[in-house]
């Protein structure tokens, strides 16, 4: 029997129409450093329609063509977020934090013809433009000196002039929900960037899940502060999800420093926010130094990397702000897990739950694939690489030379699941704990040893300032851990004692035999441990290694 | 550009798998009158797999075949809710409150071969069986005398025996999300019942919306008490949605009387419930007479018909229970609107908002079509028939003689929207107020007069016990209102004075000219005003009418 339900596609235009009518009085407030700019969802909807007319009629944007944005979180970027996909084009957000050469590679690969940019980002864009072969139009929104764009061979448009006077409604096309809506490139540490090409369907379903009470649970009573940039995995879906739920938005624009963030929280009273741990670390120091009223924040989503327990505790105890762990990646839209402890637990037990990555969102299927390629049980002990499947999970990259989809073997399983590259465990009640990146895990005799767990235990020793553990080749076990330790200033380290210290906390077969003293752990440009460099130093014989 | 996201269908099997793994420790508690029966989601999932094996291997159920249930809200019904669609068959819930002849018509129309019934409903089922031509198997679950089923020419199976020993996992088929998952018949007052054939897609998306924080917002911290029967529009989606969200369920089975409902609320502490106003009216009287601790209930969804303001107020003031208005119908799965007042309003203003039907759920598009066929503005004044569109709204009925879809003109617009038959207004901030059924509205000179509004104003007069207003033919205006009034015992009614009373509250052109005194308003079998009977009495000249 065929169902007799209406066949209505899930498209961004439906989010736009719903938000700007049913929730037309919700607000988008953009921080400016001075008087905040305020716009209603109805106004944003009308301006999005004007932008869509301008893109089509003035700049000749065609269906499924990418339109790039180089912008902070603000009302104009939200208008582009809605107008570009709703009109049938593809929203391509450019990550302004990437090295210029990588940014240029990405724009050229996507063949962007139109870039919507904030005036304050012209110092970044102008020197890049001579390298952007496809760009014909730059649309500039907001304050900032325009003169650096002169004479660079592109047509420069003022955003406000471009949209002014155009119709405030648009006959949004009824699009196949599997067509592309948005494009984000991931910047791997190796190889060229790879595009993730979201569909209308994936964006829409992801929004619905973001708005579920068990995830971020946005409602019209919320004022959501996306600190996570709109050029980073669509700001975790918050802008579209807020528009769908009728939750007002507080946009920080370029004011991502601790002091203005603390000020906007106190003055405008957001109820929910989302950002990476580094931001909250900075905010904590700011609030400790100069307390503000942050009582409006009922929940703060933390993702991008694991939240240090001390940070979570400090916000709990000193500022009454509840940090909620979530896990995801560009390839997962990003909502994969959100962490709320199960009902009925409290105290230290609850805190231990809160340090996990949490439970999988409905629609996200998960499995752990162990060292021998078999699916591992959910028992909180068996470790494996996390693989996920679902309607907002990437099934391939957009990124071949001709823009064709491609599926590298290390990223996708044979049966189409995404290989996340994260290693961890899952408990019987569905809580995920990530322990390592798959490439950093130590494969010893068919079992996995977590480098991160060893590092954490080592760094708990009072004489250890920093410690990195990497896999080194071993004739008998394939790989064994090498512990590279940095002592605290003035301390004398005794490896025998450190090994005994570890022995009280870690299974015996996981204890490193190889130890080395180093002055500092080598770091990558974003401050992560550079284990590749350490492995190379070992291979090149540059380290003095003691074997116990 | 084609999106590169995974193409994963939205199916009931995904709800089943997610709930019974990630939320395997959530509970289904069924009230029995004695010790409550308790089962985990993991157990329900395993038993659903066993049921699916039994249906396929023992009873020969084939893909897309309807399997009927005649059952109360309990764990076994939930298992059928999950197993039947997940295995690719169609869950056909039978409304045990329908007249037996209508029930028989429905079973014969759907050609149900298998009925899963509660033992306590055998007294209803047995006398019906000789009229059910297609039924071959009856599967009986729970307590109740089986003997009436003997010798009726069907094979009778014990539910527990049927599923015992079968595998606890099932290789659920990957189904096209547009295939049928569930079937409910609506029982109009005229004509044969009409089937609404839900798809996997519509059930899944509806669950996601039910779980959004702005709708019912189920989470693992909830214990949901669906008082609305599972044979009535899938219990508003609560069973499937709870399984998706990991919210535990409290199932009242056949104990829908005020006293056991009050007892189970006090003893088992549900956090959310849903039912029609009549149930809450009965519960209010019970709680007033014998107070219970109902403090666990944070929200109670009320739908099916409008909530009397006095009922809402009484629960607010005397029991601290917040009734939340929602609107929907079988054809809308049913979630159409939910009513939460906008942030920042309180007191009488908030209460006025709460009496409206609320705002449209995301994904539900709405328009009001006025008397002249044009779409009306959302200004809180212009009235029209409500038409809706969306992925969980019916686009046709399942119901022709050969089961083919059919689209009666009075139920579906030319462009495919559902005509709800409800007349109302929508405010600029998206709040729907329903005032009338379209068939009861008075079409006077190209304008609409709400019969319900006139009735409410008349009944506010101290001398009026009841009042019904119906349309009667008028040579000049097409239709005009006739006011039929029942005086309070011993009162003398003065029509001139009543008309003046109305005149202070209602636009002059809406005031009735025709008045009649009646002893009681005729009622339908479910207690609604029978306006058809009243119109007929007028047409037949049975009423003494005074014209002012």
Distance between CA A510 and CA A480 in Å, rounded?
A: 8
Can you tell me the mean pLDDT for A143-151? Answer: 97
Domains A8-20+34-199 and A441-547 share a fold: no
Beta carbons within 10 angstroms of residue A421's beta carbon: 18
Distance between CA B466 and CA B456 in Å, rounded?
A: 9
Can you tell me the mean pLDDT for A315-340? Answer: 96
Distance between CA A275 and CA A525 in Å, rounded?
A: 20
**Of all residues in chain B, what percent carry a pLDDT higher than 90?**
86
Q: How confident is the model at residue A188 (pLDDT cuts 50, 70, 90)?
A: low
Distance between CA B326 and CA B307 in Å, rounded?
A: 9
B116: left (phi over 0), alpha (psi -120 to 50) or beta: beta
pLDDT digits (tens, 9 = 90+) for B494-509: 999 999 999 999 999 9
Q: What is the pLDDT of residue B526?
A: 64
Q: Is the torsion defined by CA of A256, A257, A263, A265 positive or negative?
A: positive
CB contact under 8 Å between B180 and A221, yes or no, is no
Q: What is the pLDDT of residue A18?
A: 98
Structural domain boundaries of chain A?
A: 8-20+34-199, 441-547
**Best residue in B2, B3, B296, B378 for a mutation probing chain A (most A CBs within 10 Å):** B3
CB B87 within 8 A of CB B172: yes
pLDDT digits (tens, 9 = 90+) for A277-324: 989 999 999 999 999 999 999 899 999 888 889 999 999 999 999 999
Distance between CA B381 and CA B453 in Å, rounded?
A: 13
Copy the structure tokens of residue B323. Answer: 């009734």
Judged on CB neighbours under 10 Å (0-12, 13-18, 19+), A223 is buried
Beta carbons within 10 angstroms of residue B361's beta carbon: 26
Say which residues have a Cβ less than 8 Å from residue B196's Cβ, sequence separation at least 6: A4, B183, B184, B185, B186, B330, B331, B394, B397, B398
Known catalytic residue: A448?
A: yes
Beta carbons within 10 angstroms of residue B435's beta carbon: 19
Give me the catalytic one of B76, B448, B515, B516.
B448
Q: What is the pLDDT of residue A189?
A: 59
Query: Mean pLDDT, chain A, as a whole number?
Result: 94
> What DSSP line would sit under B470-526, residue for residue?
EEEEETTTEEEEEEEEEEPTT----HHHHHHHHHTTS-GGGS-SEEEE-SS--B-TT
- Tell me chain B's radius of gyration from C-alpha atoms: 25
B chain contacts of residue A22, beta-carbon cutoff 8 Å:
359-360, 429-430
Q: Which class does domain A8-20+34-199 fall in?
A: alpha beta
CB contact under 8 Å between A6 and B220, yes or no, is no
B chain contacts of residue A220, beta-carbon cutoff 8 Å:
214, 340, 342-343, 359
Q: Which of B22, B197, B208 sits opposite A208 (nearest CB)?
A: B208
Does residue B48 carry a pLDDT above 90? yes
Least confident of A447-451, A471-475, B515-519: A447-451
Can you tell me the mean pLDDT for B347-375? Answer: 96
Q: What is the ipTM of this complex?
A: 0.93
Give me the catalytic one of A32, A186, A427, A433.
A186
- The SS3 assignment for A54 reads helix
CB B546 within 8 A of CB B495: yes
Q: How confident is the model at residue B396 (pLDDT cuts 50, 70, 90)?
A: very high
CB contact under 8 Å between B205 and A202, yes or no, is no
Q: What is the pLDDT of residue A371?
A: 86
Distance between CA A127 and CA A103 in Å, rounded?
A: 12
- Measure Cα distances from A4 to A181, A197, B184, B233 in Å: 28, 31, 12, 15
Q: What is the pTM of this model?
A: 0.94
Q: What is the pLDDT of residue B190?
A: 63
Peptide bond into B470 cis (omega under 30): no
Give me the catalytic one of B65, B331, B387, B466.
B331
Buried b (16+ CB within 10 A) or exposed e, B371-408: beeeebebeeeebbbbbbbbbbbbbbbbbeeeeebbee
Q: What is the pLDDT of residue B525?
A: 67
Q: What are phi and psi for residue A84, nearest 5 degrees?
A: -65, -55
Angle at B394 between CA B390 and CA B400, to 5 degrees: 160
Q: Which of B4, B6, B390 sits opposite A397 (nearest CB)?
A: B4
B chain contacts of residue A66, beta-carbon cutoff 8 Å:
1
Nearest CA in chain B to A360: B22
CB contact under 8 Å between B212 and A363, yes or no, is no
**Of all residues in chain A, what percent carry a pLDDT higher than 70?**
99
Q: Is the torsion defined by CA of A518, A520, A524, A529 positive or negative?
A: positive
Known catalytic residue: A348?
A: no
Distance between CA A450 and CA A436 in Å, rounded?
A: 6
pLDDT digits (tens, 9 = 90+) for B456-512: 899 889 999 889 999 999 999 999 999 999 999 888 889 999 999 999 999 999 999
Q: What is the pLDDT of residue B524?
A: 76
β-strands A478-487, A464-474: how paired?
antiparallel
A401 against A380, higher pLDDT: A380
E-assigned strand segments in A23-167: 27-30, 37-40, 66-70, 90-93, 114-118, 137-141, 155-158
CB A213 within 8 A of CB B212: yes
Specify which residues B214 forms β-bridges with: none
A405 against B469, higher pLDDT: B469
CB B543 within 8 A of CB B517: no
Give me the catalytic one of A356, A448, A455, A457.
A448
Q: What is the pLDDT of residue A525?
A: 67
Nearest CA in chain A to B378: A21
pLDDT digits (tens, 9 = 90+) for A359-389: 999 999 999 999 889 999 999 999 999 999 9
- The SS3 assignment for B185 reads strand
B chain contacts of residue A378, beta-carbon cutoff 8 Å:
21
- Measure Cα distances from A278 to A96, A163, A215, A266, A459 in Å: 18, 37, 22, 20, 20
Does residue B218 carry a pLDDT above 70? yes
Determine which helix (DSSP H) or strand (DSSP E) holds A49, and give its type and residue range: helix A41-57
Can you tell me the mean pLDDT for A136-150? Answer: 97
Query: Please, where are the H alpha helices in B164-230?
Result: 200-210
Known catalytic residue: B448?
A: yes
CB contact under 8 Å between B390 and A202, yes or no, is no
A chain contacts of residue B1, beta-carbon cutoff 8 Å:
64, 66, 90, 179-180, 183, 197, 398, 403
Distance between CA A22 and CA A247 in Å, rounded?
A: 12
Does residue B528 carry a pLDDT above 80? no
Q: What is the pLDDT of residue B371?
A: 86
CB contact under 8 Å between A212 and B214, yes or no, is no
CB A334 within 8 A of CB A202: no
CB contact under 8 Å between A219 and B214, yes or no, is yes
Best CA proximity match to A242, nearest among A434, A73, A63: A73
pLDDT digits (tens, 9 = 90+) for B175-207: 999 999 999 998 765 678 899 999 999 999 999
Can you tell me the mean pLDDT for B244-249? Answer: 98
Determine which helix (DSSP H) or strand (DSSP E) holds A249, and give its type and residue range: strand A248-251
Q: Is the torsion defined by CA of B431, B435, B436, B441 positive or negative?
A: negative
CB B220 within 8 A of CB B64: no
Judged on CB neighbours under 10 Å (0-12, 13-18, 19+), A163 is buried
Q: What is the 3-state secondary structure (H, E, C) of B29-55?
A: EECCCCCCEEEEHHHHHHHHHHHHHHH
Protein fold of B8-26+35-198: Rossmann fold (3.40.50)
A430: left (phi over 0), alpha (psi -120 to 50) or beta: left
Q: According to CATH, what is the number of the domain A441-547? A: 3.30.300.30
Distance between CA B157 and CA B159 in Å, rounded?
A: 6
**Best residue in A245, A301, A362, A364 for a mutation probing chain B (most B CBs within 10 Å):** A362
């Amino acid at each position: 029997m065929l169902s007799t339900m209406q066949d209505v596609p899930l498209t961004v235009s439906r989010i736009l129409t719903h938000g700007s009518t049913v929730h037309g009085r919700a607000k988008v407030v953009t921080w400016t450093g001075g008087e905040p700019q305020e716009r209603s969802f109805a106004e944003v909807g009308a301006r999005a329609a004007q932008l869509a007319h301008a893109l089509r009629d003035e700049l000749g944007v065609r269906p499924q063509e990418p339109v790039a944005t180089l912008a902070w979180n603000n009302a104009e970027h939200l208008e582009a977020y809605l107008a570009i996909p709703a009109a049938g084009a593809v929203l391509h957000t450019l990550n302004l934090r990437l090295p210029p050469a990588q940014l240029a590679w990405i724009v050229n690969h996507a063949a962007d013809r139109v870039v919507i940019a904030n005036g304050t980002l012209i110092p970044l864009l102008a020197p890049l433009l001579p390298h952007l072969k496809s760009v014909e139009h730059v649309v500039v929104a907001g304050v900032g000196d325009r003169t650096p764009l002169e004479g660079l061979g592109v047509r420069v448009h003022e955003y406000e002039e471009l949209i002014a006077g155009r119709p405030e409604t648009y006959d949004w096309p009824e699009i196949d929900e599997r067509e592309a809506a948005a494009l984000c490139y991931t910047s791997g540490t190796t190889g060229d960037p790879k595009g993730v090409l979201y569909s209308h369907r994936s964006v829409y379903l992801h929004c619905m899940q973001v708005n579920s009470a068990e995830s971020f649970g946005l409602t019209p009573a919320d004022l959501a502060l996306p600190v996570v940039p709109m050029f980073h995995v669509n700001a975790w879906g918050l802008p579209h999800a807020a528009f769908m739920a009728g939750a007002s938005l507080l946009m920080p624009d370029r004011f991502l420093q601790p002091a203005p963030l603390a000020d906007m929280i106190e003055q405008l009273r957001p109820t929910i926010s989302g950002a990476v741990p580094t931001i909250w670390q900075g905010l904590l120091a700011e609030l400790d130094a100069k307390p503000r009223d942050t009582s409006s924040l009922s929940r703060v989503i933390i993702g991008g990397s694991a939240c240090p327990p001390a940070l979570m505790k400090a916000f709990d105890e000193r500022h009454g702000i509840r940090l909620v762990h979530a896990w995801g990646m560009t390839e997962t839209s990003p909502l994969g897990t959100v962490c709320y402890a199960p009902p009925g637990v409290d105290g230290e037990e609850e805190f231990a739950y809160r340090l996990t990555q949490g439970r999988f969102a409905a629609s996200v299927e998960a499995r752990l694939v162990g060292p021998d390629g078999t699916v591992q049980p959910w028992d909180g002990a068996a470790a494996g690489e996390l693989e996920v499947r679902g309607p907002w999970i990437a099934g391939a990259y957009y990124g071949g030379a001709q823009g064709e989809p491609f599926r590298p073997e290390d990223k996708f399983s044979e049966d189409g699941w995404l290989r996340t590259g994260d290693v961890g465990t899952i408990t019987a009640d569905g809580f995920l704990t990530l322990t390592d990146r798959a490439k950093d895990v130590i494969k010893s005799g068919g079992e996995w040893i977590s480098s991160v767990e060893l590092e954490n235990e080592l760094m708990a020793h009072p004489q250890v300032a920093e410690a990195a553990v990497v896999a080194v080749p071993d004739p008998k076990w394939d790989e064994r851990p090498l512990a590279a330790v940095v002592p605290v200033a003035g301390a004398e380290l005794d490896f025998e004692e450190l090994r005994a210290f570890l022995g009280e906390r870690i299974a015996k077969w996981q204890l490193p035999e190889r130890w080395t003293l180093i002055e500092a752990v080598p770091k990558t440009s974003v401050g992560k441990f550079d284990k590749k460099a350490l492995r190379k130093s070992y291979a090149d014989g540059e380290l003095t290694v003691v074997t116990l």
